[in-house]
A and B are shown apart, each in its own frame.
Chain A
Amino acid sequence: MTQPTSQPTKNRFTFRTLILLLIPIILLVGVIALFLYTGGGLRLESPAPIENLDVERHVLERNKIHLYVRNTGPAELTIATVVINEAVMPFSVTPSATIPRLGRAEIHVNYAWNQGEAYGITIFTSNAIPFAVEIPVAFETPQPSSRTFWAFTLIGLYVGVIPVFLGIFWFPALRQLGRRTLTFLMAATAGLLIFLGLDTIAEALEVAAEVPSAFQGIGLIGIGAVGTFLLLDAISRRQTEITGSESERRLAIALMIAIGIGFHNLGEGLAIGAAYNVGEIALGTFLVVGFIIQNITEGLGIIAPVLRDRPTIGRLALMGLIGGGPAIVGAWIGGFSPSPILGVLFLAIGTGAIFEVVYEIAKLIKKDMARESMPMTVFSGVLTGMLLLWVTGLLIK
């Protein structure tokens, strides 16, 4: 209070400031109360009840169907009837048939379903509002056991870890190459990553459509992608401040590429695990071969920035594990407890990470370009990277 008048507005948080801050909030409470009490002159009563029920997943056991549902409507609802393939079926609900807003419940039906057949389920609420679920291909849901655990591990190993390590095995050969070729490889990596990033965000948008509307899937993509991009950017700037060494910096970028690709592979694993879980999988030998070919480029991307350095084998192995290993974790999560919310979040993080890495590589290339101008090398490199994924993608699509 006795401060000189020279700094009147700096950090002077007084009781008066508090009151001034609170006044709009108090007024807001008043306006809301008034609105709720009078309706504000608007007729906002719905002529029919608005209800929304999301079936988050289904689990099929022998002669049993379990549906995991969430009430994403504005008020509580009650499940009244379950119809499976045009037959009214007795059912039970735990914990309760009346589900509060955003609450979850499990519906259990004793139903003699058959392997490989399709089932249409309609759930009626007490207000006679139907919600349809489809089981396109009935398939006994894998239960966590050492066998299924190993199966999902194998899936992750084949589509994630093995291809990334195969790409890394190019390291000794590639480091024989000249500066111009190395820059080309860096640009190709950037191209690969741009393609991957676009693909990841497209997948995130697709999964976001499955997220219950209350959880705003698109918003989650924004938060995950922008947050990850800025966080990695901040980390990289701080590293530059701490270590000036160029090679340290390149190693850090390689690590970040590994992390970005790791998140991408996590999302990939989630998708595979979830698809496997609902029996929609028909992963042919051919498809796995396609994956190995395509994901080999991921390993190449990881080592590209450090080709002119001498990273230890341990470090390379670690980066391979970071890049490919999450596919296994993703397959576990997707297989045993698929959740579109988690899926969207991981894919969004992957998007942010991948684009941040592209930004870092661009900075490295810019440095190289300062020494020697080679605009066509960058152009052809980026395009090669993108085309590489597009062409190998033809194998899988």
Chain B
Amino acid sequence: MKPLSRRDFLKVGGLAFLGTAGATAINQNKHNHTTEDLNEVHLSHTMQQGDHGDLPGTVGEVDHEKNGFNPTDLLTDFDYGEVSALPNGQTLREYKIVSLNKNIEVIPGIEFSAWTYNGRIPGPTIRATEGDRIRIHFSNGSNHPHSIHFHGFHPGEMDGVPSTGPGGLVEPGSSFTYEFDAEPFGLHLYHCHVFPLARHIAKGLYGAFIVDPKEGRPPVDREMVMVMNGIDVDFDDANDFYAVNGIPFHYQNHPIQIRVGEQIRVYLVNILEFDLINSFHLHANFFNYYPTGTSLVPSEFTDTIIQGQAQRGILEFSYKYPGMYMFHAHVTEFAELGWNGMFEVLP
């Protein structure tokens, strides 16, 4: 007598009979709402969403101090290394990177048990000039073997891939020094290459690697680095949140302040694991795009670009008008899950 499981209701369909009886009341309410809606349209212009629900975002603030880094500072934190000269006159840059297990509060109240380079996500932005000799003193302070694999020219034993030598897999407590010349010029990246690779990247072992051309790039007013990443807090090999420079919604909650007319250069790297593509869209503006930064001539003047994993490029733009402007993944799902930010353009 009781075929009334919910599935059956869905299956039956047909003329809503009792449904109509009950829905009369609701429709009545709906009708009232419509007139209210009209009134609200005028009011809601001043509010962001009016009475139409909240904007996606987080409540509260993650503990940056405990995390050990603040994405706002990471934007302009370029590590030029310890500089000296080799006997042959070549510039030597030495960097220290240590891998650490660390819990990072990615969403207020949620700690992500991450693997990090130097305790931060992304790791330090390594910056050098084309032709410089680079030494990365890597020590593994975690309880898993790790490595650093740089994109760029280097000998095989410096590739940071298991079975290419001692640098391919650095055991916990061990260390290794990667040494090579910085080339070609452009925007590159580095990440751990120990297997399972997806997990080692998804847990946070990556960073940007900038090689400036010998003659330098044309000067701009501000340079910033943005590493687009995903966060899989429950380790089901699917991202739960998305971000730029580690913390979802950070630049939505803390807009990046720039001024009208200022020339901005963004070093944009995509290291997103699990998802096929990522993207960057700038509101109310267009930018010159230099894929991989290996040319000084832009390939495109656009407002949206797409990057697959490990793709990267340099963006140059300036704002004509003051105001608040969004930048976000135009994979809108990512935007609402954290990859959303604002430029606050001051007059």
**A residues whose Cβ falls under 8 Å from a Cβ of B:** 62-64, 78-81, 83, 86-92, 97, 109-113, 122, 124, 126-130, 136, 140, 142, 145, 147-148, 151-152, 154-155, 158, 195-196, 199-200, 203, 206, 264, 267-268, 271-272, 275-276, 278, 280-288, 294-295, 298, 389, 393, 396-397
Contact = CB atoms under 8 A, between A and B. Distances in A.
Given A281-B19, A393-B1, 5 more contacts: A87-B56, A88-B336, A140-B30, A267-B2, A393-B3
A118 to B, nearest CB: 12
Interface in B20-43: 21-22, 24-26, 28-30, 33
B51 interface: yes
B25 A283 contact: no
A29 B53 CA distance: 54
B221 interface: no
Contact of A147 (B5, B28, B59): B28
Interface string B307-347: 00000000000000000000000000100111000000000
A284 B17 contact: yes
A90 B240 contact: no
Given A154-B18, A280-B9, A142 B108 contact: no
B12 A283 contact: yes
A272 B53 CA distance: 30
Contacts of A195: 1
19 contacts: A62-B33, A63-B53, A79-B109, A80-B107, A80-B109, A83-B240, A88-B248, A90-B56, A124-B234, A124-B240, A142-B25, A154-B21, A199-B1, A281-B9, A284-B16, A287-B12, A287-B14, A287-B17, A389-B1
B198 interface: no
B56 to A, nearest CB: 4
B14 A286 contact: yes
Interface string B2-16: 111110111011111
Contacts of B54: 89-90, 109-111
Given A112-B52, A281-B18, A268 B2 contact: yes
B209 interface: no
Contact of B10 (A78, A282, A294): A282
A89 B56 contact: yes
Contacts, number: 176
Contact of B15 (A64, A284, A294): A284
A271 B10 contact: no
A81 B337 CA distance: 11
B263 interface: no
Given A268-B2, A295-B1, A63 B51 contact: yes
Contact of A282 (B19, B52, B53, B240): B19
B50 to A, nearest CB: 9
B254 to A, nearest CB: 16
Interface string B30-73: 10010000000000000001011111111100000000000000
Contacts of B108: 80
Interface string B160-173: 00000000000000
Nearest to A392: B1
Given A140-B26, A148-B25, A294-B1, A90 B59 contact: yes
A110 B233 contact: no
Secondary structure call for the A interface? mixed
A252 B109 CA distance: 62
B110 A80 contact: yes
B109 A283 contact: no
Contacts of B52: 63, 112
Nearest to A87: B336
A128 B236 CA distance: 11
Nearest to A206: B5
A275 B13 contact: no
B286 interface: no
A129 B18 contact: no
Interface string B220-234: 000000000000011
Nearest to B24: A147
B107 A124 contact: yes
Interface in B97-126: 107-112
Given A80-B109, A140-B26, A199-B1, A283 B53 contact: no
Nearest to A83: B337
A95 B49 CA distance: 26
A28 to B, nearest CB: 39
Nearest to A146: B25
Contacts of A90: 54-59
B236 to A, nearest CB: 8
A145 B18 CA distance: 17
B18 A396 contact: no
B290 interface: no
